[in-house]
Amino acid sequence: MTFKPLGERVLLERIEEPTKTATGIIIPDNAKEKPLTAKVVAISKEIKKEGVINVGDKVIFGKYAGTELSLDGKDYLVMSQDDILGIL
């Protein structure tokens, strides 16, 4: 299924955090917070014109930003370009 964001929105796929610390301690799933970094999967036509954010960029976003959705069994976030704090 193809998803095309409208307005000034982007489609993001979260980048999972490691489940083990540098010292080897395993972090259980219930103790982890959702990651605040993601990879840009799709962008709207309005954002393409600006050329600031591109597909494939890794971005940081606000903790409560975006709307979660599931496409083809994968979880994604749709959010406004203004909710993205920066590009890594």
Domain count, the chain: 1
Which positions of the chain have pLDDT values less than 50? none
Q: Which pTM value belongs to this model?
A: 0.78
In a domain, 1, yes or no: no
- Per the structure, the complete domain to which residue 51 belongs is given by 9-17+26-87
In a domain, 3, yes or no: no
CATH code at 77? 2.30.33.40
pLDDT at 58: 96
Can you name the residues that pair with 40 across neighbouring β-strands? 12
Q: Which string of b and e fits 50-68 if b means at least 16 CB within 10 Å?
A: eeebeeebebebeeeebee
pLDDT one-digit tens code per residue, 44-60: 988 877 778 999 999 99
